């Protein structure tokens, strides 16, 4: 019985050994006889990598140069200011001099009924809504109304039209021009806001590309380490110094990391494509980021309390949203002033000094020349009795002013709180990065100690893989935090209404 049991146990052991040998042999490299065991400990995920060729680095400043020079949205934002300037030009048209001329003649049955020729030059003046007028009329004929009849040489006149009531302090053309000028400020603020939005998105896409690149690098390092370990353990297993099942464990780790590497390579390609959305050349043609390009290392520049106070002051005073709302309030203020002006009665006084059409001749008698005895005078008066339309428009304008003022107050508070919240997040990332660096250093010590224990036969390949995978995860988390820090820094400047401290 004992012999039978021993024989059966020996058969099971031989069967298992044959299974593991057949399972591992196709995956193992060919070994020469009497080969020395390969070392398992290698340089594990070093903190400092070899320097990258600077010609391959696509820095954040390179991205900024291309975005601000060639990005279509940046160019589109510049059109806002140009459009506002065009509106100012159009509003100035209300003060353009105007020349008018009209000619009518009737001849019937040999009778010259009338021969009317009227000409006028009107020059609007800024102060007081005054219009300067100069004219020449020649109205002759048998049936011309006597009040319009002129000498055969015509009648020349120079005069003014002055509003004494409505339109003296402000009128429609002055209101339009002042509002158009204010809109330039609003358009410039809107332009800055759009450019800041473009730069924020470009910065985030850049650091997403950086993180994808670091992920790919770290996992490739992990694949190389796992592959080196697998080959060393395989050689030891062939020499009988290592259990064959350990080579299976090592190979699974290699394969698992290879799958991760393939997926991260796709993520890197996609991140590169997303970043390429912001890249355009000077000919307005899209360009792609080269595959050999690498991102810069994060600077992780700390924002001190004095800089934060400057950003808060800048956000409260020069944020594009607040500037735009302030311009809207000033524009509505001009509109309100104009609506109050419409509550006054219309009283327009016009006066014209007259002379014969050939006043330039010296032989013209003095009593036909320009003088206080030769003039036309007119007064126009109009006033709505209830002023319901004017009062309704004025109330609407005042409501809009209150609405814009309240919106500005809420926006200022929201902006300042956003700046403070992002600054708190930034400081939290600084503390987390410091702790993460210490954690990585400790994990590296654990991995090195585990490798030494493995060489002494006191550890397993499973523990080594676990320690190494944990180190890789910690490094990935560190790179994620670095990228998040830089994106948060970009958000801090964006919510402060700028791109870097001291710029708009």
What global pTM score does this model have? 0.81
Residue 369 tokens read as 């020349």
Cβ atoms of 120 and 135 within 8 Å: the answer is: yes
Q: Express each pLDDT in 284-316 by its tens digit.
A: 899 999 999 999 999 888 899 999 999 999 999
Tell me the C-alpha distance between 421 and 416, whole Å: 9
- DSSP states along 220-269: HHHHHHHHHHHHHHHHHHHHTSS-HHHHHHHHHHHHHHHHHHHHHHHHHH
More confidently predicted of 237 and 212: 212
Taking the CA atoms of residue 82, residue 88, residue 91 and residue 95 in that order, the dihedral angle to the nearest 10 degrees is: -130
Cβ atoms of 38 and 242 within 8 Å: the answer is: no
Q: Within 10 Å of residue 235's Cβ, how many Cβ atoms?
A: 20
Tokens 């609003």 correspond to what residue?
Answer: 186
More confidently predicted of 16 and 102: 102
Nearest CA to 425 out of 471, 489, 371, 354 is that of 489
Q: What is the pLDDT of residue 271?
A: 96
- DSSP states along 14-52: HHHHHHHHHHHGGGSPP--TTPPPPP-----S-SSPPPP
Most confident of 42-46, 273-277, 353-357, 463-467: 273-277
375-382 vs 346-356, strand pairing mode: antiparallel
Residue intervals of the chain classified under CATH 1.20.1600.10 are 49-87+176-330+402-495
CA separation (Å) from 105 to 112, 119, 149, 193, 250?
8, 15, 14, 62, 110
Tell me the C-alpha distance between 480 and 475, whole Å: 9
Cβ atoms of 484 and 307 within 8 Å: the answer is: no
Mean pLDDT, rounded, for 478-483: 96
Residue 82 tokens read as 């140009």
CATH number of 49-87+176-330+402-495: 1.20.1600.10
Q: At what angle do helices 461-495 and 305-318 cross, to 10 degrees?
A: 40
Tell me the C-alpha distance between 113 and 140, whole Å: 8
Indicate the range of 346-350, 374-378, 399-403 predicted with least confidence.
374-378
Residue 166 tokens read as 């409505």
Nearest CA to 230 out of 222, 456, 17 is that of 222
Helix, strand or coil for residue 302? Answer: coil
Under the banding of pLDDT at 50, 70 and 90, the label for residue 29 is very low
- Residue 32: is its pLDDT beyond 70? no
In this structure, what are the phi and psi dihedrals at residue 242, rounded to the nearest 5 degrees?
Answer: -140, 145
Residue 223 tokens read as 């694949």
Q: Within 10 Å of residue 498's Cβ, how many Cβ atoms?
A: 21
Q: Express each pLDDT in 183-193 by its tens digit.
A: 999 999 999 99
Tell me the C-alpha distance between 96 and 388, whole Å: 33
β-pair partners for 349: 162, 379
DSSP label at 370?
S
């Amino acid at each position: 019985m004992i012999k039978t049991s021993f024989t059966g146990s020996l058969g099971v052991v031989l069967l298992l050994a044959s299974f593991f040998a057949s399972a591992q042999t196709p995956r193992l490299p060919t070994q020469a006889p009497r080969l020395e065991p390969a070392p398992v400990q290698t340089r594990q995920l070093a903190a400092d990598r070899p320097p990258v060729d600077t010609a391959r680095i696509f820095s954040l400043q390179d991205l900024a140069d291309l975005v601000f020079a060639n990005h279509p949205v940046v160019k589109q934002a510049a059109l806002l200011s140009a459009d506002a300037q065009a509106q100012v030009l159009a509003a100035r048209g209300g003060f353009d001099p105007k020349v008018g001329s009209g000619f009518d003649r009737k001849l019937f049955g040999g009778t010259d009924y009338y021969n009317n020729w009227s000409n006028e030059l009107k020059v609007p003046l800024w102060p007081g809504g005054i219009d300067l007028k100069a004219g020449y009329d020649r109205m002759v004929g048998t049936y011309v109304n006597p009040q319009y009849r002129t000498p055969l040489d015509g009648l020349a006149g120079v005069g003014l039209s002055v509003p004494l009531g409505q339109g003296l302090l402000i009128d429609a053309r002055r209101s339009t021009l002042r509002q158009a000028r204010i809109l330039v400020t609003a358009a410039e603020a809107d332009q800055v806001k759009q450019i800041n939005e473009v730069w924020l998105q470009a910065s985030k896409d850049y650091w997403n590309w950086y993180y994808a690149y670091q992920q790919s690098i770290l996992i490739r390092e992990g694949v190389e380490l796992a592959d080196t370990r697998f080959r060393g353990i395989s050689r030891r297993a062939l020499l009988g110094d290592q259990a064959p099942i350990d080579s299976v464990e090592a190979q699974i780790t290699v394969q698992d990391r290879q799958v991760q590497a393939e997926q991260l390579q796709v993520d890197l390609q996609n991140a590169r494509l997303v970043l390429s959305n912001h890249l355009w050349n000077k000919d307005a043609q899209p360009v792609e980021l080269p595959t050999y390009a690498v991102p810069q290392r994060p600077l992780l520049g700390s924002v001190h309390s004095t800089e934060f106070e400057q950003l808060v002051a800048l956000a409260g005073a020069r944020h594009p949203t607040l500037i735009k709302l302030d311009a809207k309030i000033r524009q509505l203020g001009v509109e309100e002033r104009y609506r109050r002006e419409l509550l006054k009665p219309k009283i327009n006084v016009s006066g014209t000094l007259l002379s014969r059409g050939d006043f330039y001749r010296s032989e013209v008698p003095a009593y036909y020349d320009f003088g206080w005895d030769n003039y036309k005078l007119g007064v126009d008066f109009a006033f709505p009795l209830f002023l319901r339309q004017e009062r309704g428009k004025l109330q609407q304008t005042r409501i809009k002013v209150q609405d814009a003022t309240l919106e500005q107050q809420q926006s200022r508070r929201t902006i300042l709180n956003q700046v403070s919240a992002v600054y708190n997040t930034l400081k939290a990332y600084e503390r987390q990065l410091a702790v993460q660096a210490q954690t990585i250093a400790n994990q590296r010590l654990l991995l090195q100690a585990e490798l030494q224990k493995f060489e002494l036969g006191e550890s397993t390949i499973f523990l080594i893989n676990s320690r190494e995978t944990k180190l890789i995860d910690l490094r990935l988390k560190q790179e994620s935090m670095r990228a998040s820090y830089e994106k948060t820094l970009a958000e801090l400047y964006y919510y402060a209404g700028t791109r870097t401290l001291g710029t708009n």
